[in-house]
């Protein structure tokens, strides 16, 4: 069982000049990542190159706006 929600994790990772992103597992993902959610911080100008380098896996990195969509 997870101690904190995705919203709480992203809020805690918020820092000036850094965009927090959460790894969102899908389908038959590693069960480890459904309990322990990896969070990374990326400078906004580096997000596009990071996503390009990750290819299809980039779809699993979500930001705070994703949570607003899921709730609304």
pLDDT of residue 34: 66
Structural domains of the chain, count:
1
Rounded Cα gap, residues 1 and 19, in angstroms: 26
DSSP secondary structure of 37-67: --EEEE-HHHHHHHHHHHGGGGGGEE-HHHH
pLDDT in tens, 25-58: 776 566 666 677 789 999 999 999 999 999 998 9
Separation between Cα atoms, residue 65 and residue 54, nearest integer Å: 20
Q: Does residue 17 lie in a domain region?
A: yes
Confidence check: pLDDT of 59 > 80: yes
Question: Within a domain: residue 37?
Answer: yes
% of the chain exceeding 90 in pLDDT: 40
Q: Is residue 46 part of a domain?
A: yes
Query: What tokens were used for 21?
Result: 């992103």
* Whether pLDDT at 71 is above 60: no
Domain that holds residue 14: 6-71
Structural domain contains residue 1: no
Contact assessment for residue 43 and residue 19, using Cβ atoms and an 8 Å cutoff: yes
Classify residue 63: in a domain, yes or no. yes
């Amino acid at each position: 069982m997870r101690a904190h929600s995705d919203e709480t994790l992203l809020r805690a990772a918020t820092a000036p000049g850094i965009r927090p992103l959460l790894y969102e597992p899908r389908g038959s993902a590693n069960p480890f990542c459904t309990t322990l959610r990896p969070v990374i911080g990326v400078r906004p100008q580096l997000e596009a190159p990071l996503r390009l380098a990750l290819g299809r896996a980039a779809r699993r990195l979500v930001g705070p706006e994703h949570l607003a969509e899921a709730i609304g």
